[in-house]
Every structure is written in C-alpha cells, then in structure tokens.
Structure 1
C-alpha cells in the first residue's frame, strides 16, 4: 500500500469535531476494529466472500474517520474485491496477502493513534518548559 499510515490533518479534524468524546470514540474504534479484523480473517479462512464485505466496510469507514489512510485503503480493497467475488461467484483467494497484512497494519495504526492522543506525550519540540536559548524569547533593553 502506498498510502501513508495516518493523515494527521484528518486525525486533527476528527479530534476537534469529537472534542471530549474523542478518547472514548477512539476506544470504540479499537474494539470494533479488533472485531472487524477477526471477522475478516475468519471469513478468509472459510473462503466466504459474502462474510468479508460487512466487516471490511465497517473497518473502512471507521478508519477513515480517524485519518487512518492505509488501513482504510486495505479495508476498501477487501470490500470491493469481496463484492466482486460475490457477484461473480468467485473465491476471494486473491485477498489472502492483504488479509494477512491487515492485523499488523491495524496494530500499527492503533499504536500511532494512541500515541498521538496521549496528553502526556510532547508533540512538538519547543513547547511548554523548553529552555530558551539566549537569542530567543525576551531580551533586555
């Protein structure tokens, strides 16, 4: 996948829109995403294209809400190929590689989202408590 892991512009927008509910909703995404990934893996083991569609669709939408581009793109590919397989009565075996990679991408995505959501993490150098160099900040007149 060529998409970046997280689009932090979309992530910041979601954080601003969700306000104080952000951490709770992120927790729901983690729980729901874990279930969706497991359902996708189970459907793939059963070679059941129909059972791939809904969890992939759900994971796609929730991922994109948080700016999780790569995960959203992977889920979309699974959903679209699974829909085609249902329509043409084909086995979804071409999805094996992406389904195998899905759990790792989900874990990496959750780790990145949680790390950036932690209020104790310094996000940018030069924040509160940074010592100013003699040439920075206030000067005596």
Structure 2
C-alpha cells in the first residue's frame, strides 16, 4: 500500500510484530483518537489551553507511533497553540486535524 497519510513501511512492521493483535492496535487508536477529539472539541469551546495542549500531545504521540505523520504534525501545531494560550487559528487547525483523522481512520480500516 502506498498512501501519504500513513507510513506503509511502519504499518507493515507493526503488523508483522503484533500479528493478530494488530487489529486491536488499530481499533484502540481509532477509539482513543475519537475520545481525544471530543475532549479537544470541548476544550476549544471553553478555551481550556491546558486541555488542548494535553489532548493534542497525546494524539500526536499515538499518531506518530503508527506513522500518521501529517496527523501528528497537525497535533503538534495544536499542542503548541495550547502551550502558548493562542486562540487565533485554533478552530482552523482543529478542523484540519478532524479531516486528517477521518482520512487516517479510513486508511487504517483497509489494513
């Protein structure tokens, strides 16, 4: 598989390493990501920058662990905005993050 959203070589390595548990990894990533997006959505409403930073940081790590580097980069941007208490542009970055997460999940489901 060649798709720019996910590092295919990393996914193949994970699949080989985890065997039957690979599907569990994918399911957990999706469930955790959906939970974190919900928490981020609420944090954006109240401009809870501590929560924005923390949730974006957590999603960044799990995204990079599966080779979803574009998603990880968007999370990094949001994480930094939370760290800097920067409200300007938060909604735009979050909207891009949501779209990328949906695309990554769709790609993951093909694995």
TM-score by length of 1: 0.71
Write the mapping of 1:1-80 to structure 2, written as runs, cut at 5 A: 4-80=4-80
For this pair of structures, how many residues does the alignment match? 108
Write the mapping of 1:67-106 to structure 2, written as runs, cut at 5 A: 67-85=67-85, 91-106=86-101
Structure 1: which 4+ aligned runs deviate by more than 3 Å? Answer: none
Summarize deviations over 1:35-68 as a string: whole Å, max 9, x none: 1111111111111211101111111111111111
Which runs of no fewer than 5 residues in structure 1 stay unpaired?
86-90, 118-141
- Alpha-carbon distance between aligned partners in 2 of 1:17 and 1:84, rounded to the nearest angstrom: 38
Task: Using the TM superposition, give the Cα deviation of residue 95 of structure 1 relative to its aligned residue in structure 2, in angstroms.
Answer: 1.8
Higher RCO structure (Cα 8 Å, ≥6 apart): 2
2:109 maps to what in 1? 114
- After superposition, the CA RMSD in angstroms is 1.3
- Alpha-carbon distance between aligned partners in 1 of 2:6 and 2:21, rounded to the nearest angstrom: 20
Which runs of no fewer than 5 residues in structure 2 stay unpaired?
none
Structure with greater Cα Rg:
1
The structure richer in helix per residue is: 2
Task: Using the TM superposition, give the Cα deviation of residue 16 of structure 1 relative to its aligned residue in structure 2, in angstroms.
Answer: 2.1
Counterpart secondary structure, 2:44? helix
- Alpha-carbon distance between aligned partners in 2 of 1:77 and 1:83, rounded to the nearest angstrom: 10
